[in-house]
Structure formats: C-alpha cells, structure tokens
C-alpha cells in the first residue's frame, strides 16, 4: 500500500477541540469528499436518515444523492457495486450497519477485493473502504453484537482498522479513504458518543503505527477498539495500588505494529492482551504467539489473554455484560501475571 500522508501520532496537539467519535468520522468523510471528487458513500439509511449512528448526518445535503446513496437492504449487491466502482477508479466508502451483516458480502470482499491487486500482478487497485461496526452494547442480541475482526485479519490483501478514540477515528478513516487497498474499517457501537481531542488541522495516521495510550513500567496491556477505554480504566485503578500499567493500542490489526508491542513487552516483562471477541481463534492468540516467538526471554510470567467467552451474545443486558471482558476482569489478569 502506498499512502503519502501527513502524520500526527499524538493527541497532544495544541488544539483542544473536543468532538464525539461519530462527529470525528463525519468530519473525515466530509473533508475527503471535498478533497477528492471520486469519493462517494453507499449504505442503508445513510443519506436521508444520516445513518443509524448519525455518522453521515447532513452529508446528503452538502454533496447530493449521486455521492451519498441510500441502498436497498441487499448487502451483497451494493458491496459488489462498491468493489466494481473501486476497480474502475472511484473511491467508495460502503457502510454495513452491523459487522454481522458483512457475512453476506464475504465473496465480494475476500475472493474479489482482497485478491484483485495480486491477481493482476499489481496493476489493479481496489481503493474500497468497508465501514462497519461491531461489538456488544444495548442488548442487540446474538445477530447484531459479534466481534468478527479475526475473519478479515486472516485474509491477505485486506487492511483491518479498529480505532478507539475520536482522534484515531478521524485520522485513520482519512488514511483508509486515500489508500489503494481495500480497508475493513471497524467501529464500535459503544464508542460513538465518546468525546476526545480532535485537531482542527488536516491530519492522517499511518497504518501499522500503534499508539501508547498510557506509559508504564510494570505490565503491558495490549487492547483495541472498546477494550482500550476499559484497559485505561483498569490501569488507573491499578495505579492506586502501586501497579504501573502501559496500554498499547495497535489501532490497525493489519498491518500490525509488532515493534511497538514487542518493545513494550521487553520493557515491562509482563503482558496481558485484551479482546472483546471470543478467545477461540482470536487475534489475541496470534499476538501472543508473536510475543512468545520474539520476546520469550523477556517474559517473567505466562502471557494472559482476557477475551469474550465462547457463546453467542445474549439479549439480556446482565448476561451480555458477563459475556465480554470488563474492567475487573482486566485488573484480575494483571494481578495474575504479576
């Protein structure tokens, strides 16, 4: 992937403007649509309604129905149309309301978009962004609450992005839209109303560059998406007990910033990996294997993985909460490795 961008890797910008996560995404879309006339949006309810999570609100008014397109409830069809548009030189941003529904599009995304550049000897490009959201929240039950990032992580040719903050959401989405590779951009339904600093200036964030959300010396916590705020909350509680936790957010899972993770592990000599997805076949296990192979001699304790339990997500809110990691689960895992 070749992306020439201006990068700011820290949220400590002089601008202290605060935006919601969903507002940061909206601003990224608006800026990129103004910058590049080949960028257009497709999805269910994204135009007139502004999207179920209000990420695309007011974009129809500004850019019109030819660039902000409401689609039928037919994910396979309109994702296929997006792949075709990308191959012919457009830059579509296609929204799938829930990541669960991306399962209807796997042939288009995995067998076509992900492989097109390779099968054309590097000549063909598929600058497609598939925006979707995953994870639990608000009792949406088993068919609307899954964390399926491992499916896309497994596929060569796909970039997988999972921002945890408004700053990261905007910068990474802008990079995704400018990229020549297909990008699966996964948001989290419980992050949309989170507020954070977003600079006024135009900026992008390079893929494959993790961010250390909190520095520490005793243990490394690797987490992404909605597990980052929970890990930071756990770190603050542990600090009160004299345990200094470093929180590393990969931000992009493919490409994965192995160096930042390994450097942190070599410093702290203890590691906990946190994912909302079920443990079996998860990305945490792959990251653990990388640490085991490349930093084993530095480990003072076995690697701990905190993950969702192997069950469909229940509708009941109390059971939903029990099915995925919570702050206390992370705290207990940190104490085990220490």
Query: For residue 12, is it within any domain?
Result: no
Q: Kindly state whether residues 63 and 191 are assigned to the same domain.
A: yes
> What is the number of domains present in the chain?
2
CATH assignment of the domain containing 114: 3.40.50.970
Cα 308 to its chain centre, rounded Å, is 17
Query: For residue 290, is it within any domain?
Result: yes
Q: Kindly state whether residues 240 and 332 are assigned to the same domain.
A: yes
Q: Kindly state whether residues 279 and 135 are assigned to the same domain.
A: no
Cis ω for the linkage preceding 52 (within 30 of 0): no
Q: Each residue's pLDDT tens digit in the chain (338 positions)?
A: 444 444 344 444 445 899 999 999 999 999 999 999 999 999 999 999 999 999 999 999 999 999 999 999 999 999 999 999 999 999 999 999 999 999 999 999 999 999 999 999 999 999 999 999 999 998 999 999 999 999 999 999 999 999 999 999 999 999 999 999 999 999 999 999 999 999 999 999 999 999 999 999 999 999 999 999 999 999 999 999 999 999 999 999 999 999 999 999 999 999 999 999 999 999 999 999 999 999 999 999 999 999 999 999 999 999 999 999 999 999 999 999 99
Quote the CA–CA distance of 291 and 6 in Å, as a whole number.
Answer: 30
Cβ contacts of residue 169 below 8 Å, gap of 6+?
21, 24, 25, 28, 163, 187, 191
Query: For residue 9, is it within any domain?
Result: no
Is the dihedral angle over the CA atoms 19, 23, 24, 27 positive or is it negative? negative
75 is catalytic: yes
Q: What is the pLDDT of residue 15?
A: 55
Catalytic pick among 27, 95, 144, 320: 144
Q: Kindly state whether residues 69 and 170 are assigned to the same domain.
A: yes
Catalytic pick among 75, 95, 246, 304: 75
Which range marks the domain in which residue 160 is found?
Answer: 18-197
Q: Kindly state whether residues 135 and 39 are assigned to the same domain.
A: yes
Q: Kindly state whether residues 45 and 161 are assigned to the same domain.
A: yes
144 is catalytic: yes
Q: What is the pLDDT of residue 16?
A: 87
Predicted TM-score (pTM) of this structure? 0.94
């Amino acid at each position: 992937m070749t992306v020439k961008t201006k990068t700011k890797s820290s949220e400590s910008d002089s601008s202290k403007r605060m935006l919601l996560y969903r507002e940061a995404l909206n601003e990224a879309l608006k800026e990129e649509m103004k910058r590049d006339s080949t960028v257009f949006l497709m999805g269910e309810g994204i135009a007139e309604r502004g999207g179920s999570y209000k990420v695309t609100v007011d974009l129809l008014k500004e850019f019109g129905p030819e660039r902000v397109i409401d689609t039928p409830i037919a994910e396979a069809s309109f994702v296929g149309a997006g792949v075709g548009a990308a191959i012919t030189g457009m830059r579509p941003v296609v929204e799938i309301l829930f990541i669960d529904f991306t399962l209807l599009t796997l042939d288009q995304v995995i067998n076509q978009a992900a492989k097109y550049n390779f099968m054309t000897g590097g000549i063909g490009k598929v600058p497609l962004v598939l925006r979707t959201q995953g994870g639990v929240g608000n009792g949406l039950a088993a068919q609307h609450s899954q964390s399926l990032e491992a499916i896309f992580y497994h596929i060569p040719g796909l970039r997988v992005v999972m921002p945890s903050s408004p700053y990261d959401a905007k910068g990474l989405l802008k990079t995704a839209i400018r990229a020549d590779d297909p990008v699966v951009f996964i948001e989290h339904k419980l992050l949309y109303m989170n507020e954070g600093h977003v600079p006024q200036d135009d900026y992008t964030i390079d893929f494959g560059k993790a961010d250390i959300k909190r520095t520490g010396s005793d243990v490394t916590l690797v987490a992404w998406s909605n597990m980052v705020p929970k890990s930071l909350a756990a770190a603050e509680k542990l600090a009160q007990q004299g345990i200094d936790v470093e929180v590393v957010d990969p931000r992009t899972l493919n490409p994965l910033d192995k160096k930042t993770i390994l450097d942190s592990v070599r410093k702290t000599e203890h590691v906990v990996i946190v994912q909302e997805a079920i443990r079996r076949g998860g990305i945490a296990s792959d990251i653990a294997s990388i640490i085991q192979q490349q930093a084993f001699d530095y480990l003072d304790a076995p690697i701990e993985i905190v993950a969702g339990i192997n069950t469909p997500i229940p509708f009941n809110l109390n059971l939903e909460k029990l099915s995925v990691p919570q702050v206390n689960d992370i705290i207990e895992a940190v104490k085990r490795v220490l």
